[in-house]
Chains A and B, each alone.
Chain A
Amino acid sequence: MNNSQNIIARSATTTTPPQVRSHVDEVAKLIDVSKCIGCKACQVACMEWNDLRDDVGECHGTYDNPTDLTANSWTVMRFSEHETQEGNLEWLIRKDGCMHCAEPGCLTACPAPGAIVQYANGIVDFNSEHCIGCGYCITGCPFDIPRISAKDQKSYKCTLCSDRVNAGMEPACVKTCPTNCIEFGTKEDMLARAEKRVGDLKALGFRDAGIYDPAGVGGTHVMYVLHHANDPNRYSGLPKDPRISPLVGAWKGATKPIMSAIIGITAFAGVIHYMTKGPKEEPEEQAEHGQDDVPPPHSLGYDATRPRGEDR
């Protein structure tokens, strides 16, 4: 499957990946929170397609099950009860999962080359073979999405079903959604749909309805339609203005080049020391061997049992 998609960004790598196939539309998943009934079909379809099964959890007195994302639950419904100023109760249900940011904090923070890649269609994907399990992606993520598996110490999250999308299909959660709450298409088309829906919601009296496509991370390829876009925090802590943590900027911006320089200088000093002082000499011991142990010279090409003398 190599080069099946243009890779536009790759963690901890400075060389340019092959990018000639540029005629790729950006895709997006649109989650209309105002249509969600919290049935969790998306959670089930996600697990089924991705061959995951999470542990049977415990009831915590809410509908949240599981209560948080895990390495096996790449999407979860988050239920929050909000009391309005008029004293009405709003039951806000948000499908949580990777937002597939245009400027992914996980990818910026990741120190393992190629463990996180971003395709030209906007999908941010984890390449688990290269993951070293450091957890920097969790620190880097403004939405706190990736989770490290206790089984293999590797990080996992929603792939936006990159395998399905690559085969021309929609993500599993999108297909199964019975209420048409999750939609999929090009980012352009999804924005158009979202705008239409926002107009409908405003006509219904939701004056603050709007699209959640935060500019702080360059926009996302998973967008929400919110009835209260002025206060995303109401939806189980969706950040109002998500940004990549300044710690990640410091690590990638200043610390890493300085530390790289120090390592380089140390290596260079070692070379200079070797050139001026020469290698450390150890008295070589002459091992003794019986003639029986020596294999015939023609079978091995060289005598592996003899000490490696300077004169060879």
Chain B
Amino acid sequence: MSINVTRRQFFKLGGAGLASSSLAMMGFAPEPAEASIRQFKLTHAKETRNTCTYCSVGCGILIYSKGDGSKNVEQNVFHIEGDPDHPVSRGSLCPKGAGLLDFVHSKGRLEYPQVREAGSSEWTRISWDEALNRIARHMKDDRDANFVQRTAQGETVNHWTTTGFLAASGSSNEAGYITHKVVRNLGMVAFDNQARV
């Protein structure tokens, strides 16, 4: 059996098909509905354990970066979440920790030592060696000028009251012990750390 379809009839048939598929768009007939689940974004990401920088609680974090570390790849952190194996936080993070990704990529993040000379309004970049030398120089000069060896009562003391020290919050017991020894040996009295949130 053969059907003779003229060119015009063929187009009419096509038009009817188009009209019925337009009805489908209005919900009269189904179209294949795909599942909407987003592709899991951590598949094959490089996972690195670290400690949150914010406060002295020191929650464990997992840093996910793109690229597997091959030599031709520039790593880029794209997601951070809590480390479930960390004994302190067990996977949880406060709002600051949960937002660490934007902290890492912040335009205002300090990435290297800078100095603003007296009377200047500009910050200029200096090297780490230069920065450490300058700080040591300032400390030495200030301590030499203001060091208190004896009180008015004649007691021998180790007092350097004109400089204070603010230590890091996220340090281990060992790092904290060493920091304490160094600071107190120098005679510094004003000594604190950001051990609170």
* Bound-state Cα–Cα, A291 to B94, Å: 78
Q: Does B93 contact A (CB under 8 A)?
A: yes
Q: Identify which of A43, A166, A260, A312 contacts B28 (C-beta below 8 A).
A: A260
Contact in complex: A7, B33 (CB < 8 Å): yes
Q: Which residues of A contact B98 (CB under 8 A)?
A: 41, 44-45, 48, 176
Q: Identify which of A117, A167, A178, A267 contacts B94 (C-beta below 8 A).
A: A178
* Bound-state Cα–Cα, A167 to B27, Å: 32
Contact in complex: A15, B30 (CB < 8 Å): yes
- Segment at the B interface, from A121-129, A204-212, A220-228: A121-129
* B44 CB, nearest partner CB in chain A, Å: 12
Contact in complex: A177, B92 (CB < 8 Å): yes
Contact in complex: A263, B80 (CB < 8 Å): no
Q: Does B40 contact A (CB under 8 A)?
A: yes
Contact in complex: B34, A114 (CB < 8 Å): yes
Contact in complex: B93, A45 (CB < 8 Å): yes
Size bracket, chain B contacts: 35 or more
Q: Which residues of A contact B89 (CB under 8 A)?
A: 178
Contact in complex: A162, B37 (CB < 8 Å): yes
For window 37-70 of B, CB contacts with A under 8 Å fall at 37-43
Q: Identify which of B31, B82, B94 contacts A175 (C-beta below 8 A).
A: B82
* Bound-state Cα–Cα, A112 to B24, Å: 10
Sample of 6 more A-B contacts, CB < 8 Å, known A1-B37, A15-B30? A43-B95, A44-B95, A114-B30, A127-B36, A162-B36, A312-B7
Some 30 contacts from A to B, beta carbons below 8 A apart, are A1-B35, A4-B35, A5-B37, A14-B30, A15-B30, A39-B94, A40-B95, A41-B97, A44-B98, A45-B98, A47-B99, A48-B80, A48-B98, A48-B101, A111-B27, A114-B31, A114-B32, A117-B33, A117-B35, A125-B36, A125-B37, A127-B35, A129-B34, A163-B38, A172-B81, A175-B91, A176-B97, A180-B92, A263-B26, A308-B8
Chain A residues in the interface with B (C-beta under 8 A): 1-5, 7, 10, 12-15, 17, 39-41, 43-45, 47-49, 111-114, 117, 119, 125-130, 159, 162-164, 166-167, 172, 175-178, 180, 256, 260, 263, 267, 308, 310, 312
